């Protein structure tokens, strides 16, 4: 037998390398079908899920209309706690959105091939999380019907919005990031729309035909797409870093004790990466099971993703501590009181929940067993997001409860309106994601095929190792 | 006349293109369609020069201009003083200018790449569905006198589905 | 409008309110007067207990000591009309800005209710319309036509009764005379039975308010924050400052 056939047989016999997606012995047409089949099948479970989520969303929309009609008083807000769950969840969703860019842009530039099957799921997560986040600046407005006054357009009042306000920076930044990630998602999607167009019929064919924009796959088209994706990857990184920094400045530019901290910008960004990557891991475990994508989302991907989450978690701890030690040491009266509230007062249960839910996963993710077992990874990463949501609630709500004049101290209790609206965005995100998974191929097929070009098996001494070629 | 041929292997395709070059058929008469991107030069053809980077730079400059206008000029159009800050301060202006520059960069990249690819284009064009199943398609625009030679050469290199390309509506 | 880029402190007129804590008895007449003058709704016991009262001026009360040696310390607190107001730059729609007289102006019609200003204010003197305000009959007859009635979702706060300032200015202009010191009296100043509140122009060194501001008893709230407030307190016999 010749060398290549020899090696091929050895590859088939040696199990560890079959675990590598980019070395799997599958034809292009088999990959196409493996990705398209789950999209075309909608079982009972799917419809139960969609109905349930739609009901929660509908209830949330009712709660929002109730809020608009009766006023913000139907929430639990009061003086001094003017910002509560809506802003908390807003920050949370913006945080979740950061993982998508991390995976698709940063890892693309670093040429980490394990990002290939997950990049579209990650970008979709970004786009949908931003859509949910973008609702909150509207929801929390007292007079939401006047929201357009924040839009800079020439008007007969001759008034422009106040660009010194962090809320304006928020609006502009989130809008930019939403546009950027949606366009990025769509651009990388075009070749797969062409593939789907070629293999489906009826309404799907019509839809994919329009979305594919007449893509054929000529060399010129690929070259231009690659250039555009390269520029996008580079351009979207400063955007993603700036968006959560800007959201953090909503708090840090005020002189409210515990908000006025210079470390907020990097602290929030790293918290976003931690929380977003965990959410991505949770979603991927669920999608892998629900859409039977075990072939594409393998142990190697969860292993690498788990390591990234762990590193982000460790960085989060560093930034948290850097902020905390300065506050604790400074002993400013109100800050000291806030820390006391957190560590041994009314907020203590939340604080300890936050710390344990953020720290335990870091320890757990050290073990490869946890990273590569889907159920364990799901539990761990869900715990991270419980912790990160609590962390944001403590920052937003906890800090507002105390301030410079003790007469103005207050407490907060959420109401059904706030909880319903928060649930609405969680259900809305899940709903969008579920529908997305049935309409758009979840796995970027062309990127996997491109990745396979890079990988071959090579012999080094007695070992047969996978090697990656140095091509773009 | 136009011919289309499908190949299984990129090596065959590259050899065919070399032979076509030898026969005197120019690069702009050959179109290679693939279901995945092949590295530059793998199929023996030159990369074309793109205007995309210039479109992006122009877009970024436009974004800078818009950001400058909104952050620096609008506060002077309808002057309202706010506590403790001048009407135009460096940090808020920097944030706004940065964001608008990036927004315009992104949007101009997207629109620029669409414009350069002439998308959307839904009219009939030579194409074959097997391309997305991993085959490489080569579409040639050759003088009729060379047809026999070319067909011969294609057969030698394991081409299949050789014939007039079907103009599919995409 | 101010012509100087760095704020209206350079302007001639600067309205200030002097609060003499030695004279204040905590009777809350100023609170009631403010409600009447500025169309402020009464929110009810339950809402007030939850921290949603709407008083633009409030007597902040602190209890000191244990029974039977309990002491109540109190001071009236209203919008401090800070020169370097932290609430102004954060409003995305310019619903609050600094006008030429040194007042922190609130434009009710422009407010879209983000409540950023409320969070940014260190004195927490800004109140919010959590619901549609109710003025049960016949209280609706009592509303002041000079002041907008606000709906839900709008932030509001003490304005130093800017409607009275304007009325006095318009009247004096129509009559062709200069405003005298003490002619303009916000509702709280007018009502205070012990004359603990004095309103005047800090830019005029001879006004009563200016003279009181130069007193050795004068102090401002939270001076370390750098807000440069326009409300000057005068220490009482028992003020802990």
State mean pLDDT over A238-242. 93
C61–A78: do the CB atoms touch at under 8 Å? no
State mean pLDDT over A138-153. 93
Question: pLDDT tens digits for B67-99?
Answer: 999 999 999 888 888 888 898 999 999 999 999
- Of the candidate ranges A94-108, A280-294, A399-413, A453-467, the one whose mean pLDDT is the lowest: A453-467
Q: Which residues lie below 8 Å from residue C64, measured CB to CB, with a gap of 6+?
A: C70, C71, C72, C73
Residues of C in contact with A142 (CB under 8 A): 111-115, 128-129, 152-155
Question: pLDDT tens digits for C89-140?
Answer: 999 999 999 988 889 999 999 999 999 999 999 999 999 999 999 898 888 9
State mean pLDDT over A428-434. 96
Residue C4 has pLDDT above 70, yes or no: no
B83–C82: do the CB atoms touch at under 8 Å? yes
Residue ranges making up the domain that contains B164:
2-36+134-169
The strand pairing partners of C96, in sequence order, are: C106
Q: Is residue B17 a part of any domain in this protein?
A: yes
Domain check: are B66 and B92 in the same one?
yes
Q: Is residue B148 a part of any domain in this protein?
A: yes
Q: How many CB atoms lie within 10 A of CB C194?
A: 12
Question: pLDDT tens digits for A183-226?
Answer: 999 999 999 999 999 888 889 999 999 999 989 888 889 999 99
Q: Is residue B41 a part of any domain in this protein?
A: no
Residues of C near A (Cβ–Cβ under 8 Å) read 47, 50-53, 60-62, 77, 86, 89-94, 110-116, 118-120, 122-124, 126-132, 151-155, 221-222, 225
Residue A263 has pLDDT above 90, yes or no: yes
Q: Is residue A253 a part of any domain in this protein?
A: yes
**To the nearest whole number, what is the mean pLDDT of chain A?**
91
The token pair at A208 is: 């994919």
C-alpha B64/C-alpha C107 separation (Å) is 32
Residue C47 DSSP SS3: helix
- Taking one residue from A and the other from B, the number of pairs with CB-CB distance under 8 angstroms is 179
Strand (E) or helix (H) holding B74: helix B74-77
Residue ranges making up the domain that contains A385:
14-149+159-468
Task: Please give the residue that has the higher pLDDT: either B80 or A88.
Answer: A88
Q: List A residues 146-165 in contact with B (Cβ-Cβ < 8 A).
A: 152, 158-160, 162-164
Which residue among B38, B109, B119 sits closest to A235, beta carbon to beta carbon?
A: B109
What letters, b where the CB count within 10 A reaches 16 and e where it falls short, cover A118-152?
A: bbbbbbbbbbbbbbbbbbbbebbbbbbebbebbeb
> What is the chain A residue with the closest CA to B76?
A160
Minimal Cα–Cα distance from C194 to chain B, Å? Answer: 33
**To the nearest whole number, what is the mean pLDDT of chain C?**
90
Minimal Cα–Cα distance from C108 to chain B, Å? Answer: 16
Q: Judge contact between A400 and A83, C-beta under 8 A.
A: yes
Q: Backbone dihedral region of A143: left (phi > 0), alpha (psi from -120 to 50 degrees) or beta?
A: beta
Minimal Cα–Cα distance from C72 to chain B, Å? Answer: 34
Q: Which residues lie below 8 Å from residue A124, measured CB to CB, with a gap of 6+?
A: A100, A185, A433, A436, A440
Residue A14 has pLDDT above 60, yes or no: no
Query: What pLDDT is stored for residue C10 in this prediction?
Result: 43
C-alpha C85/C-alpha A142 separation (Å) is 22
A91 touches chain C (CB under 8 A): no
Look up the pTM and report it.
0.93
Residue A7 has pLDDT above 70, yes or no: no
Task: Please give the residue that has the higher pLDDT: either A15 or B158.
Answer: B158
CATH number for position A145 = 1.20.1630.10
What letters, b where the CB count within 10 A reaches 16 and e where it falls short, cover A417-443?
A: bbebbbbbbbbbbbbbbbebbbebbbb
Which residue among A172, A175, A187 sits closest to B96, beta carbon to beta carbon?
A: A172
C-alpha A176/C-alpha B104 separation (Å) is 9
Q: How many CB atoms lie within 10 A of CB C226?
A: 12
Query: What pLDDT is stored for residue C182 in this prediction?
Result: 87
Question: pLDDT tens digits for A301-345?
Answer: 999 999 999 999 999 999 999 999 999 999 999 999 999 999 999
Q: Is residue B123 a part of any domain in this protein?
A: no
C-alpha B152/C-alpha B131 separation (Å) is 22
Q: Band of the pLDDT at C181, cuts 50, 70, 90?
A: confident
Question: Running DSSP on this structure, what letter comes out for residue C223?
Answer: G
Q: Band of the pLDDT at A9, cuts 50, 70, 90?
A: low
Query: What pLDDT is stored for residue C8 in this prediction?
Result: 32
Q: Is residue A305 a part of any domain in this protein?
A: yes
Inter-axis angle of helices A264-290 and A416-439, nearest 10: 50
A407–C61: do the CB atoms touch at under 8 Å? yes
Q: Is residue A48 a part of any domain in this protein?
A: yes
Q: List B residues 90-109 in contact with A (Cβ-Cβ < 8 A).
A: 92-93, 95-96, 98-100, 102-103, 105-107, 109
C-alpha B114/C-alpha B95 separation (Å) is 29
C131–A70: do the CB atoms touch at under 8 Å? yes
CATH number for position B23 = 3.30.70.120
Residues of B in contact with A246 (CB under 8 A): 95, 99
Residue A120 DSSP SS3: helix
Give residue for tokens 């259900």. Answer: A427
Q: Band of the pLDDT at A280, cuts 50, 70, 90?
A: very high
C-alpha A284/C-alpha A277 separation (Å) is 10
Which residue among C1, C89, C227 sits closest to B82, beta carbon to beta carbon?
A: C89
A256 touches chain C (CB under 8 A): yes
Q: Is residue B122 a part of any domain in this protein?
A: no
Minimal Cα–Cα distance from B61 to chain C, Å? Answer: 26
C-alpha A69/C-alpha C132 separation (Å) is 9
Q: Is residue B126 a part of any domain in this protein?
A: no
Q: Is residue B78 a part of any domain in this protein?
A: yes
Q: Which residues lie below 8 Å from residue A251, measured CB to CB, with a gap of 6+?
A: A259, A264, A395, A396, A399
Q: Judge contact between C89 and A165, C-beta under 8 A.
A: yes
Chains that touch B (3 or more CB pairs under 8 A): A, C
Query: What pLDDT is stored for residue C241 in this prediction?
Result: 64
Minimal Cα–Cα distance from C65 to chain A, Å? Answer: 16
Residue C6 has pLDDT above 70, yes or no: no
Residue A1 has pLDDT above 60, yes or no: no
Domain check: are B17 and B64 in the same one?
no
Strand (E) or helix (H) holding C75: strand C71-77
B157 touches chain A (CB under 8 A): no
The token pair at B134 is: 């991993």
Question: pLDDT tens digits for A43-56?
Answer: 888 999 999 999 99
Which residue among A71, A79, A404 sits closest to C222, beta carbon to beta carbon?
A: A404
The total domain count for chain A is: 1
Domain check: are B65 and B92 in the same one?
yes
Query: What pLDDT is stored for residue A470 in this prediction?
Result: 79
Q: List A residues 406-425 in contact with C (Cβ-Cβ < 8 A).
A: 406-408, 410
Domain check: are B58 and B30 in the same one?
no
Minimal Cα–Cα distance from A272 to chain C, Å? Answer: 23
Query: What pLDDT is stored for residue A290 in this prediction?
Result: 86
Question: pLDDT tens digits for A168-177?
Answer: 999 999 999 9
Q: Is residue B19 a part of any domain in this protein?
A: yes
pLDDT above 90 coverage of chain C, percent: 74
Domain check: are B32 and B57 in the same one?
no
Query: How many angstroms separate the Cα of A462 from the Cα of each of A459, A465, A468, B29, B153?
Result: 7, 10, 19, 48, 42
Q: Which residues lie below 8 Å from residue A369, measured CB to CB, with a gap of 6+?
A: A376
Q: Band of the pLDDT at B121, cuts 50, 70, 90?
A: confident
The total domain count for chain B is: 2
State mean pLDDT over A49-78. 95
């Amino acid at each position: 037998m010749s060398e290549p056939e020899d090696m091929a047989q050895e590859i088939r016999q040696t199990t560890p390398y079959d675990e590598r997606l980019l070395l799997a012995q599958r034809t292009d047409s088999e990959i196409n079908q493996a990705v398209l089949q789950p999209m075309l099948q909608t079982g009972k479970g799917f419809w139960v899920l969609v109905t349930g989520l739609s009901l929660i969303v509908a209830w949330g929309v009712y709660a929002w209309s109730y809020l608009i009609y009766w006023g913000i008083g139907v929430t639990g807000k009061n003086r001094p706690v003017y910002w509560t769950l809506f802003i908390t969840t807003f920050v949370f969703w913006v945080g979740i959105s950061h993982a998508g860019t991390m995976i698709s842009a940063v890892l693309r530039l670093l040429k980490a091939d394990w990002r290939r099957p997950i990049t579209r799921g990650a970008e979709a997560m970004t786009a949908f999380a931003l859509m949910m986040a973008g609702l909150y600046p509207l929801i929390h407005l007292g007079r939401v019907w006047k929201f357009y006054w924040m839009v800079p357009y020439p008007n007969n009042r001759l008034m422009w919005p106040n660009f010194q306000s962090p809320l304006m920076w928020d609006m502009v930044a989130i809008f930019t990031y939403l546009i950027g990630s949606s366009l990025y998602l769509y651009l990388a999607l075009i070749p797969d729309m062409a593939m789907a167009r070629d293999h489906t019929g009826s309404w799907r064919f019509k839809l994919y035909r329009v979305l594919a924009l007449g893509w054929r796959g000529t060399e010129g088209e690929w070259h231009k797409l690659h250039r555009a994706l390269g520029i996008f990857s580079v351009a979207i990184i400063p955007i993603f870093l700036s968006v959560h920094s800007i959201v953090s400045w909503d708090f840090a530019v005020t002189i409210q004790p515990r908000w006025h901290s210079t470390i907020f910008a990097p602290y929030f960004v790293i918290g976003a990466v931690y929380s977003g990557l965990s959410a991505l891991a949770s979603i991927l475990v669920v999608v892998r099971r629900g859409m039977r994508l075990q072939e594409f989302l393998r142990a190697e991907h969860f292993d690498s993703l788990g390591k990234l989450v762990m590193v982000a978690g460790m960085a989060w701890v560093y930034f948290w501590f850097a902020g905390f030690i300065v506050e604790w040491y400074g002993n400013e009266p109100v800050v000291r009181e806030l820390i006391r509230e957190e560590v041994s007062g009314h907020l203590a249960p939340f604080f300890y929940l936050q710390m344990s839910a953020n720290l335990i996963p870091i320890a757990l993710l050290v073990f490869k067993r946890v990273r590569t077992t889907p159920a364990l990874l799901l539990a761990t990463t869900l715990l991270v997001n419980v912790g990160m949501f609590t962390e944001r609630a403590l920052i937003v709500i906890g800090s507002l409860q105390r301030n410079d004049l003790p007469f103005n101290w207050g407490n907060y209790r959420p109401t059904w309106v706030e909880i319903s609206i928060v649930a609405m965005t969680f259900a809305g995100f899940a709903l969008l994601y579920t529908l997305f998974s049935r309409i758009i191929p979840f796995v970027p097929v062309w990127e996997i095929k491109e990745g396979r070009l890079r990988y071959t098996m090579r012999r080094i001494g007695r070992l047969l190792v996978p090697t990656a070629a140095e091509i773009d | 006349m136009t011919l289309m041929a499908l190949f299984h292997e990129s090596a065959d395709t590259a050899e065919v293109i070399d032979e076509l070059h030898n026969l005197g058929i120019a690069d702009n008469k050959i179109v290679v369609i693939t279901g995945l991107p092949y590295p530059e030069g793998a199929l023996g053809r030159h990369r074309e020069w793109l205007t995309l980077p210039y479109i992006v730079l122009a877009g970024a400059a436009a974004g800078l201009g818009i950001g400058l206008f909104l952050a620096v000029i609008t506060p002077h159009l309808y002057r309202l003083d706010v506590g403790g800050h001048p009407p135009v301060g460096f940090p808020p202006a920097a944030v706004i200018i940065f964001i608008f520059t990036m927004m315009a960069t992104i949007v101009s990249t997207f629109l620029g790449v669409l414009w350069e690819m002439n998308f959307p284009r839904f009219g009939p064009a030579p194409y074959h569905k097997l391309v997305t199943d991993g085959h490489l398609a080569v579409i040639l625009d050759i003088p009729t006198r060379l047809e026999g030679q070319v067909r011969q050469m294609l057969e030698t290199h394991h081409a299949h589905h050789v014939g007039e390309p079907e103009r599919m509506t995409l | 409008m101010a012509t100087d880029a760095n704020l209206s402190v350079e302007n001639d007129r600067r309205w200030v309110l002097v609060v003499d804590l030695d004279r204040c008895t905590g009777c809350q007449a100023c609170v009631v007067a403010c409600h009447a003058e500025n169309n402020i709704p009464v929110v009810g016991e339950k809402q007030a207990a939850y921290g949603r009262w709407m008083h633009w001026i409030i007597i902040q009360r602190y209890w000191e000591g244990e029974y039977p040696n309990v002491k109540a310390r109190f001071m009236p607190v209203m919008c401090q009309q800070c020169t370097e107001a932290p609430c102004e730059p954060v409003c995305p729609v310019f619903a609050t800005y600094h006008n030429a007289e040194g007042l922190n102006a609130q434009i009710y019609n422009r407010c879209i209710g983000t409540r950023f200003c409320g969070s940014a204010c260190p004195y927490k003197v800004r109140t919010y319309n959590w619901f549609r305000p109710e003025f049960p009959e016949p209280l609706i007859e009592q509303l002041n036509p000079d002041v907008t009635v606000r709906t839900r979702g709008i932030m509001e706060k003490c304005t130093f009764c800017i409607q009275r300032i304007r009325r006095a200015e318009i009247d004096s202009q129509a009559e062709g005379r200069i405003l005298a010191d003490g002619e303009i009296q916000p509702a709280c100043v007018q009502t205070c039975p012990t004359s603990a509140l004095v309103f005047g122009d800090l830019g005029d060194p001879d006004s009563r308010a200016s003279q009181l501001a130069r007193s050795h008893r004068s102090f401002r709230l939270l001076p370390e924050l750098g807000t440069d407030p326009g409300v000057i307190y005068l220490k009482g016999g028992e003020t802990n400052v």
